[in-house]
Structure 1
């Protein structure tokens, strides 16, 4: 490792760590596939922040323990090191990327993080002085202080904005600190105390949030400040209104549904500030909630959300036109100037002119949004305190029975009507089938149930069949038991489901235990006819053997029931949480799982949201079924990957290869890339021909015909991604293949050897194909023009995740020749430097944070000198 590379590693992240009530965290370098990861220096250095935690400085270490002072390289010391030292410096021992670090359990003090002094927000000479109370400021970290300053800058300019930090970075805390400042909640310091009477005249503050987090807001207010808080929710609303009129309430909390219903009452009140938590709920301009929020009488509107854009670029306009009306122009202007150029510029075969215009509009949009949006990610703020996360997308082969049932479902009259809707009608009419004789499907089981008693159908026919048919295809992709009738449904629906199940099971009905719901424990827990469960079974065995803890997500309660029986059969100790779990028991379940070594798996519904689900003891996350909205899957991952996580987190998204789920994931990629382009201004590789909401360019993603395609004969996602990469890197790949150098045959042979070996391994696991989500999305400008080695790296990475230690030496040679610097090598180098300093890894990490730049430079120079002298020997 070069000195410059190591110096780059030591650069501080752009923000400090989030404050949290959870316990310890271990420092590790923010390792990246790309060594040129850009960082912005914080306004105060990390060494200053860590000194507030009373970590020993370099001088204190030197005075307290002579054995841990900065080593000065001498010839005598080199001789004493002997051969062992040479072997460590000259040959890195490769440690599995996903193995747990055996670090000290010593924890950071998460109480006071700074000096007990207020954070002044107002300009010098401004009266009254606006400041965050010292009791709050001393517990904030640097990125949170920046967030408070951002909110106050918007407030001072008399308009609103969006705090768009990732989940877990303390948006609630930053908001409370900001409100405490503007309302003069500074009882500790009379010197800077604002005019409290004047603050009361400003009017009350309204916070709109999901029902599940009202109690959390109340708890946080009670911990962080002394506001008079009331919840306008439930049967006591009239009493709360009277108290509000008597100025006995400073903060009013209410839910989305309550505000939507009571908007005529609440919109008549002159609010000083309005805060909407989970502000992405305002994405739809046609919703009653959005229309109700437009009537709020204040310009100081603030939104809190970590998922600013979920599905469409037009959602940006709806959100920012609410927080800062007119900031993005009119709706028509936004659509023509930003929305359409960005979408068409991302099309795979878009002309160069389209791409150039899209680049210009992207930069312009990001510049405008920057005035009203503060967006920070975990990597930018607390990434240096965590060991990282990898998001693996795993395409599992469906069982043979699943494949046959899936094809029979595509052959049902209801689905065929949708597939053939645009074909000429068989009656000889020039009209299409959907406009002529095939608008209704009398012989369709689903259609007949939806339109029972109405043979003419509805105004939406046959498009009313789309959602029910998609649900059936998704159920088949996950588990065949899901398409059988549910005893909890009404009898008529059960009869319809039983009839449909019998039709699509066909000759295989005996293999799956009949067309009625299977009550057999052994039958439900068997993995024979479920491709995903076969892969999960082998992965689970490896993880539990090595002491890993697993979060297992599914959005279907019936799927959770099946997985529960599967875990019982495998002898796993588990917990479970879904929508039926009482709120009073949820935190105890979370605490028990985090503290108990015997709890191996946590079964959890993807839709079970709310704060407090901080499952940081788990280091493996399995998302059994994908969601159309990528934010849902990303939020599920963050249940484990958040502040306090002490291990490397590996995520596995299980998809049924050749099914509708491949299209679901491809649309997730499309939406994530649009978000990165429009919100973050990142460069994204172009994969798809389809353009959202454009019938002319439906491509491979959009339109009903694409939804009901038979993908069983192709690797849909793999082919799209590989095709895009090959187009980008054709010249580089050609150089590797056609080169006449003598060492090229060895590279090619090694490549083929690694791929063949890994394909065998994946085949044994029932896996068709896998890749890292971060290798596909979030490409960024820094990766443009850089050679891809994904074919070798992606499968080898998955090999590591299932704890296979038989690494191919040829693969290592190929990686070395291609000059890739892996995460394992970087960590080993770091350990060597820690040993050179006579410290453990965690202790050395603390020293790095508290050391001055001159101390670091001195240490690096000595380490480099010693390493060179060893290599000469």
Structure 2
């Protein structure tokens, strides 16, 4: 098509005053000259420019007076680049004539062009092989993948390749949400030459004898489809799933080198591992590799039979419960790299645990410090561990992890005590006492080994009245479950009429024993089917606190993730949300897999969705809920990794707001012991994996009968803590830096939320009724308890130590010698910051209570800069 013909086509758009007949006639005259346009052969950049134009609105007509401004922008009418491609050398003057038609100019509003590619990195390959290497062609990550990698991901790919060159395995231990999957795919793409120039799947000259063996990927069944999707998105591998009914066909293709990547699940490999272990794999990658923590499991034994030394694990929780889990994991990755199991236990495990004891002798502490440094150095050869704060912290607004201890209701406390007085529990508590029959044996070895008069024991042994081999320890788990249910909600221990008759009778007998005279107050023996009864927060301490907290969050426009381990508890919380009129979504184990992503997308997109109810077991992996900025974990788990995974559903890349987590615990109940064990386990993990300094809070030593302390042993599990603040007393009694601050040593309900107020202001400052009746007796920020230091030589980070405490109940610094008991120096600083803000002290205190952590830190930074330039008086 000539440029003249193109000009004629545009005329009807410019002369809007002409009649329709004239336009028709003009079109009829020019239509005969039209030639169907062929797609031009253009560069990638020109194709992208045309693709951007498709997102712009229909061209509009602008008057000549505005054309001068637009001409400075050098815009061209639609598809001018197409005309240049076809004419290839038309006069530039004709193009200028084309831009203006009788006083009007064709242009479009200047809008921000969509980003088709994330401008993370340069569009060039990431070379992994060294320049002096003999390997040709070079090993490199394709440019199409490298341009989308963040810097920490490139470092992860290099780490995996360096291990591969040395014929070693290793662990990529990045935090959840840092892209371990894409790092693994980028690494495999480089190894298998999946770039445009050297693609072994498309190059006809490739020597088939040099074809590498296939790759095996073992992962949870819930993320199998995600792995397959990511491979199809990022590379050109031949991928197959060994999962389902067509396993034999897939296996034959693997043997004939028709498949490069084979993906299977943990359960499938545990069952069919003997078949898959016959193949010589080039590389084996296990996602969520912490599943290999138990050396006695069938999965672990099956994975040991894999025929390759290039074994790689991906996990964000390298150690969950015990230090010996590290040995099991690394002994699979690098067989023999940490010595024998006995050597590891004697040289690392025992010294580190005993050195962390609160009353450990100084020589124990020194030995533990030496062994810790040595272990971190050994693990560092095969482990790359990065946190969100170290990698993408500058791209996120941060996270605050609050642990909130809620007062149980009066009826909950009475039911909890009655539970501890049952013969079943008393048998466990007094198991080591001398037997009352006069025998020198302990009760557990003599007359009290069985509990025929108990409430729980007879139903466990209805077919074996003489008891089992593990009596009475078979009662531990059922009793712990009942105590946790009472701590959460009394409805959880009532019988369900849908169950079989035997279970209904068992649960009814238990409910009768623990409810006692309160049976009418709690609505009878059976589960309350009344909507108003289930949604009432009167008899549940944690729900009462949650009610008040959510009311303040919803007003501010916050979006909330609400996790619970119990599906029955989710049912109760659902009734509560309906009664309050909150818009919510729900996801649990019964939610079809095909529907889960649509629920997530709907919650992220819809401003009207305020709450997402999620089962902790169903929502541990694969959910990206970055639209939520409040996370509530209603009931804690013995394994701290479960609670951390729940938090990371919101705190991950793409989160635009500050995330605040609330872990809700029933004060004085078993849940306090669950949390303190979480602290103990996380501290051991930080010590063994990262070499961090941790405060020595606890006297107990894991798996050591001589030092059970306050954490371990059956007597601690069933201790009545209702008359004390168990966690508060432990933390404050062993924290040497905070014991001199009298106001923070003992906090009560009236102190919650008022810790930021100076003493002079507390008398005049009145909390709203909702805040006053929160039902919270104690709270602290988890990151102030765990992760005291980032390494063996700890230095305080800039901005983390402030004159005004950011957290309830935890002071950051020991008062200086010149400060008196009333904190006059802090009070002076507080008044100066208030004056800097142009507020009175009480007014500033109110603002400080409602401000986010980011706003507080920003004001303090501005205050410090101002103070350095011009001291305030």
1:620 maps to which residue?
Answer: 630
1:64-85 superposed Cα distances (whole Å, 9 cap, x missing partner): 99xxxxxxxxxxxxxxxxxxxx
Task: Point out the more displaced range, 609-618 or 577-586.
Answer: 609-618
Q: Please list, as runs of the form range in 1=range in 2, the aligned pairs for 1:848-867 lying within 5 A after superposition.
A: none
1:126 maps to which residue?
Answer: 134
How many Å separate the matches in 1 of 2:194 and 2:408?
60
Deviation at 1:115, TM superposition (A): 1.8
2:176 maps to which residue?
Answer: 167
1:679 maps to which residue?
Answer: 689
2:463 maps to which residue?
Answer: 453
Retained in 2: the 8 A contact 1:134–1:188?
no
Root-mean-square deviation (CA), in Å?
A: 3.5
CA change 1:463–1:825 in 2 (3 A) is: closer
Retained in 2: the 8 A contact 1:755–1:791?
no
Retained in 2: the 8 A contact 1:754–1:792?
no
2:196 maps to which residue?
Answer: 187
2:372 maps to which residue?
Answer: 362
1:315 aligns with 2:325: yes
CA change 1:217–1:749 in 2 (3 A) is: closer
1:33 maps to which residue?
Answer: none
Deviation at 1:120, TM superposition (A): 1.1
How many Å separate the matches in 1 of 2:577 and 2:827?
37
Partner secondary structure for residue 274 of structure 2:
helix
Hey, which bits of structure 1, 4+ residues long, moved more than 6 A? 105-109, 734-737, 755-762, 786-791, 808-812, 816-822, 829-833, 870-873
1:767 aligns with 2:776: yes
How many Å separate the matches in 2 of 1:376 and 1:388?
16
Retained in 2: the 8 A contact 1:397–1:767?
yes
Q: Please list, as runs of the form range in 1=range in 2, the aligned pairs for 1:332-347 lying within 5 A after superposition.
A: 332-347=342-357
Retained in 2: the 8 A contact 1:393–1:772?
yes
1:148 maps to which residue?
Answer: 157
1:467-496 superposed Cα distances (whole Å, 9 cap, x missing partner): 000000000000000001134433211210
Retained in 2: the 8 A contact 1:405–1:504?
yes
Q: Please list, as runs of the form range in 1=range in 2, the aligned pairs for 1:632-651 lying within 5 A after superposition.
A: 632-651=642-661
1:795 aligns with 2:808: yes
Larger radius of gyration: 2
CA change 1:811–1:479 in 2 (3 A) is: farther
1:529 maps to which residue?
Answer: 539
How many Å separate the matches in 2 of 1:121 and 1:199?
24
How many Å separate the matches in 2 of 1:132 and 1:396?
52
Retained in 2: the 8 A contact 1:313–1:339?
yes
Higher relative contact order, chain-length normalized (CA < 8 Å, sep 6+): 1
Residue in structure 2 matching 1:722, options 716, 732, 744? 732
1:265-296 superposed Cα distances (whole Å, 9 cap, x missing partner): 01111111000000000000011100110111
1:653 aligns with 2:663: yes
1:373 maps to which residue?
Answer: 383
Partner secondary structure for residue 115 of structure 1:
coil
Partner secondary structure for residue 216 of structure 2:
strand
Retained in 2: the 8 A contact 1:263–1:292?
yes
Q: Please list, as runs of the form range in 1=range in 2, the aligned pairs for 1:294-443 lying within 5 A after superposition.
A: 294-443=304-453
Deviation at 1:663, TM superposition (A): 0.1
How many Å separate the matches in 2 of 1:513 and 1:199?
76
1:113 maps to which residue?
Answer: 120
How many Å separate the matches in 2 of 1:140 and 1:250?
23
Deviation at 1:792, TM superposition (A): 5.5
TM-score (normalised: structure 1): 0.77
Deviation at 1:183, TM superposition (A): 1.0
Partner secondary structure for residue 808 of structure 2:
helix
CA change 1:144–1:435 in 2 (3 A) is: same
1:333-365 superposed Cα distances (whole Å, 9 cap, x missing partner): 100000000000000000000000000000000
Retained in 2: the 8 A contact 1:183–1:196?
no
How many Å separate the matches in 1 of 2:547 and 2:344?
49
Residue in structure 2 matching 1:282, options 287, 292, 295? 292
How many Å separate the matches in 1 of 2:184 and 2:641?
22
Deviation at 1:112, TM superposition (A): 4.2
Partner secondary structure for residue 312 of structure 2:
strand
Deviation at 1:197, TM superposition (A): 3.9
Retained in 2: the 8 A contact 1:587–1:612?
no
1:577 aligns with 2:587: yes
1:11 maps to which residue?
Answer: none
1:37 maps to which residue?
Answer: none
How many Å separate the matches in 1 of 2:762 and 2:710?
31
Retained in 2: the 8 A contact 1:762–1:768?
no
Retained in 2: the 8 A contact 1:422–1:434?
yes
CA change 1:594–1:407 in 2 (3 A) is: same
Deviation at 1:724, TM superposition (A): 1.3
How many Å separate the matches in 2 of 1:226 and 1:701?
52
Retained in 2: the 8 A contact 1:692–1:702?
yes
CA change 1:350–1:771 in 2 (3 A) is: same
Retained in 1: the 8 A contact 2:497–2:526?
no
Retained in 2: the 8 A contact 1:395–1:654?
yes
Aligned residues: 720
Structure 1: segments with no counterpart, 5+ residues: 1-63, 66-104, 738-746, 799-807, 834-862
Retained in 1: the 8 A contact 2:280–2:308?
yes
Deviation at 1:117, TM superposition (A): 1.3
How many Å separate the matches in 1 of 2:208 and 2:130?
18
How many Å separate the matches in 2 of 1:386 and 1:347?
36
Deviation at 1:458, TM superposition (A): 0.4
1:364-383 superposed Cα distances (whole Å, 9 cap, x missing partner): 00000000000000000110
CA change 1:832–1:754 in 2 (3 A) is: closer
Deviation at 1:782, TM superposition (A): 2.9
How many Å separate the matches in 2 of 1:431 and 1:616?
59
Q: Please list, as runs of the form range in 1=range in 2, the aligned pairs for 1:186-205 lying within 5 A after superposition.
A: 186-188=195-197, 197=207, 201-205=211-215
1:782 aligns with 2:795: yes
How many Å separate the matches in 2 of 1:768 and 1:110?
50
1:714-768 superposed Cα distances (whole Å, 9 cap, x missing partner): 100000001111x3456x759999xxxxxxxxx9993586599799986520001
TM-score (normalised: structure 2): 0.77
2:27 maps to which residue?
Answer: none
1:851 maps to which residue?
Answer: none
Structure 2: segments with no counterpart, 5+ residues: 1-71, 74-111, 746-754, 812-822, 837-847
How many Å separate the matches in 2 of 1:758 and 1:656?
26
CA change 1:733–1:567 in 2 (3 A) is: closer
CA change 1:561–1:187 in 2 (3 A) is: same
